[in-house]
Amino acid sequence: MRAHTYLNVKRAAFLSVSALALSIASVTPAAAEEEFELLEVTVSDLQEAYEDGTYTAEQVTESYLERIERYEDHYNAFTFLNDQAIEDAKASDERIQNGEAGALEGIPVVIKEAVDVEGFQSTFGWEGFGPDSSISIVPELDAPIVQDLRAEGAIIVGKTNIPAFSTSGTRADTSWAGDTYNAVDRALAPGGSSSGTATAISGNFAVLGVAEETGVLSKIQQLLNL
């Protein structure tokens, strides 16, 4: 079972796509020869930086986790964080050095709570399946999209908040983890049901995010978090 950190409402240590899409985020590596000046970074930016040795996947992942640690209490985008993210990033660095990099090697990604991730409790945002419930659903296999991401070297940062059973198109206020706030303005709705994914990407907590398309909801979340 993968180690993970449960984030409750009071202390959440902190992803939109219509299945999977590229998104952007900011990175300031912990230890680099020069500061990464880009406010928002793309997959291709990181791939070039990894290839020329400017940054490592470990540095980039640490940078995102530090940003999450600093701002998650303000946004509440996550339900769980991956305690193995740094170790996964180190493995990515080894594959890059050995010329075995996948298409998304070392790219930090967040996953919507409704999507199964091996070893992480699947709660569907409902209190009855939450960490404090007597019912615990822990998948033994990744969902196909997560399998594909891992196969290409993506770093799973964590799972993102949703309303209970993804029943709201505006926000996650029915989630056991509490509401998620818009990364641009807390007074605005982040959209739903992939509220946490939308806020995490807009708030620069990962480069890629997994969400789901119900009607036009993914597009709504993108517009609400510009």
Domain boundaries, the chain: 4-224
Written as one string, the DSSP assignment of 155-199 is: EEEEEE---GGG--SS--TTSTT-----SS-TTS---SSSHHHHH
Instruction: Give the count of alpha carbons within 13 A of 24, CB side only.
Output: 10
State phi, psi for 41 to the nearest 5 degrees.
-120, 145
Q: Which fold has domain 4-224?
A: Amidase signature (AS) enzymes (3.90.1300)
Q: What is the pLDDT of residue 86?
A: 98
Mean pLDDT of 30-43: 60
Tokens of 31: 């230890």
Per-residue model confidence as pLDDT tens digits over 115-141: 999 999 999 999 999 999 999 999 999
E runs forming strands in 43-186: 78-82, 108-112, 155-160
pLDDT tier at 20, thresholds 50, 70, 90 = very low
Percent of the chain with pLDDT over 70: 77
Residue with tokens 């409750």: 8
Q: What is the pLDDT of residue 219?
A: 53
Q: What is the Cα–Cα distance from 191 to 214, expressed in whole angstroms?
A: 12
pLDDT tier at 96, thresholds 50, 70, 90 = very high
Mean pLDDT of 49-67: 94
| Residue-averaged pLDDT of the chain | 84
User: In this predicted structure, which of 8-17, 51-60, 90-99, 171-180 has the lowest mean pLDDT?
Assistant: 8-17
Q: What is the pLDDT of residue 214?
A: 67
Q: What is the pLDDT of residue 213?
A: 73
